[in-house]
Chains A and B, each alone.
Chain A
């Protein structure tokens, strides 16, 4: 009898947690997927199942081109974040001593700020009359404001890198910081020069953290639509922005849902692929 009561007690919690997952994640996801098989008639949604949306994605060249361009953009953002973020995380974990958590906290604080505010902040730095141009002009280095980082793809990349940088620093720092100092000492002891110790011991052990951070950055950059909207101008639009405009301006929910499903599918594939590759590298 007691056994049965205990069994029910524990199964209630299991049941509740599954319900939450099903209600809040799986059902919206399923309805969203099913929307992608509907079509639109003027302002009415036609509930007849069809593959028309997916067909349009494949036929209208602009969608595939934008998708590829967006993947490239996300890759550029990801690698820029790695090149800028890894040295910071490495320095913090190995050399910052007792200040490391203070510095880390300062790097994390921007994460608590509103995303929109950060983008506007970037606008005020990058703009025609922004900080960079003003400073350059003050020192007479330029005659008229520089434009290559304004209202185009470059400004989207710069803004995304700066906003997403903490997301790569934190997991990388955590995995590097966990490496016991005697393992690094052991590598020197066995004849490693500093670079070899990094190449064969520190980097491989810290690698999973870097992968987690990179996936974060890549997925977020891939789906972002606010940054292109606010700093991207006309040439800097991304796949995320197309999805957004289908839900908003064009009022074509089914097509938006189809594009979003494709993006979701690609994200999942990429996560699985990196998972597989990192396991194989081990």
Chain B
């Protein structure tokens, strides 16, 4: 695992406003790395620092073992795809794409060859003579990407590039980006606020919350082993409720809760008997059963949301102070229930998560 770009202890504040607080991460060669965060969380600030447009207040940006904090923008081997494309309005597609090479005084014939090669990668060979204003949003996006690719940067920084596109085009461009990244073998640092997009595209995701990274990991790690209740909720549905640990044996904890007692496997070790914790389980890890057994609970149906082939089941306990949500229950099963029907459920013993309170 070769490390490539590294940010250590990066902080940024404007006056007394803290935008980023102690950011650390490493990027590997050829990786599709996504920074995920809501708007205003400081995610653009991170790639603007990498690109060299702003300076961190403290911390180091290290690229191939050299600190590059003071390297000017035009010397950094990175290229940016801007949110609203930032194509040069005074140049046609050909000149926009060839601009980076022209600045480096590359031979004209070589530029021509390369521009058409890159335009064919993004599927715009026949648009070389168009002006940017004559292109659709998705096409402008692809020109912006071609303009970055042609410089053969070590990393391409993408600042919410799909933000301005409509849903349909967005889906297409996601596929396109994923394909192209594998094809050209350049590391991408991608910024988005859309969880699904991040999960679909990325090799690894860093979740930015309250100016710091909440967790960094592969999409699967983040989905199955979130390290906070916030993250558990952030990627899809999760049922979260308070429990007490009664007993730990062979890495299996016995928990008691408002629903009843149940068992779960422990993944993190710093948990003691008697702790109050928050337990989280995803709806798809809960199974319905007709019979009551040792580990199942008896719950009552509170509400059924019919969604066509599938339904969402809202269940409550006897005291009506705890609800559990089950998604994607086949409507074939849910139609046999009505309000206040009794249901037995089991939690998958392997897939619950325990968060310290």
Contacts and interface: CB of A to CB of B under 8 A. Distances in A.
A193 interface: yes
A28 interface: no
Contacts, number: 59
B147 interface: yes
Contacts of A205: 88-90
Given A191-B151, A192-B74, A185 B90 contact: no
A189 to B, nearest CB: 5
A191 B103 contact: yes
B84 A182 contact: yes
Given A191-B100, A201-B88, A182 B82 contact: yes
B88 A186 contact: yes
B40 to A, nearest CB: 18
B217 to A, nearest CB: 29
Interface residues of B, number: 24
Contacts of B99: 187, 190, 200
Contact of A191 (B74, B82, B83, B87): B74
B311 interface: no
A190 B89 contact: no
Interface string A187-205: 1111111001000110011
A274 B249 CA distance: 88
B79 interface: yes
A190 B100 contact: yes
Which residue among A185, A186, A200, A205 has the maximum number of chain B CB atoms within 10 Å of its CB? Answer: A186
Interface string B117-161: 000000000000000000000000000000100010000000000
Which residue among B80, B88, B90, B99 has the maximum number of chain A CB atoms within 10 Å of its CB? Answer: B90
Interface string B57-98: 000000000000000111000111011101111100000000
A183 interface: yes
Interface of A: 180, 182-183, 185-193, 196, 200-201, 204-205, 282
Interface of B: 51-53, 72-74, 78-80, 82-84, 86-90, 99-100, 102-104, 147, 151
Given A183-B89, A188-B72, A200-B99, 12 more contacts: A183-B88, A185-B80, A186-B86, A186-B87, A187-B88, A189-B51, A189-B79, A190-B79, A196-B103, A200-B102, A201-B88, A204-B90
